[in-house]
Chain A
């Protein structure tokens, strides 16, 4: 999976609890992304970060929070405010270096189930 690790692979939580999903990359990529995937649908952008200590909302940021304290790490917290948190969460990263093509590489994903 291109040097991007996500843990755990499966995660179960009770409704009303916050949960944090881990994403680590050793590709020396500047930019990192979180996507949500629901059955039979494409990927939707939750948050992205272009550099350390900076991040911006994607298309469906409500109920989620992130931090980017280190270049290698971009954890996603699913808060109790997220109405439908059960989904497959994918982390991705890409380089920002000039002359490169900014391809995004994905981690293996975390399947979150909230009951």
Chain B
């Protein structure tokens, strides 16, 4: 099955700096890679995603890059703000896994703290 590793587990940056979170995946058949932001006591919110047919996607201050050859993808947040402080999860999904399901496999999360 798929295995997703996420680094770092914690990240502290100064307001205005950039933050980068990296994930690697094991299954070369994975073709969809979403990123979720989870605030304390709430459910994860989808913030950006990328499919295997593109290498980069950007949405305002957030961007995601994908390297299919190396099987890793990264989240980039520029001009960080205190409200960006949260736990961020990456995930990967095959079109259909061995059980015939569209299941997401999640990384273990990165706690981002933006210092004002």
Contacts and interface: CB of A to CB of B under 8 A. Distances in A.
Interface of A: 1, 4, 6, 31, 40-45, 48, 50, 56, 58, 90, 92, 94, 101-109, 111
B51 to A, nearest CB: 8
B106 interface: yes
Contacts, number: 58
Interface in B20-34: 32, 34
Contact of A45 (B89, B103, B108): B103
A43 B106 contact: yes
B57 interface: no
Interface of B: 4, 6, 9, 32, 34, 36, 41-46, 49, 51, 89, 93, 99, 101-104, 106-109
A28 B38 CA distance: 24
Contacts of A94: 102
Nearest to A41: B108
Contacts of B108: 40-42
B43 A108 contact: yes
Contacts of B45: 106
A86 to B, nearest CB: 15
Contact of A104 (B6, B46, B51): B46
Contacts of B106: 42-44
Nearest to B104: A104
A45 B107 CA distance: 13
Contacts of B104: 43, 45, 104
Contacts of A48: 101, 103
A18 B4 CA distance: 32
A101 B103 contact: no
B107 A42 contact: yes
B46 A40 contact: no
| From B43, B45, B51, B102, residue with most partner A Cβ within 10 Å | B43
A101 B49 contact: yes
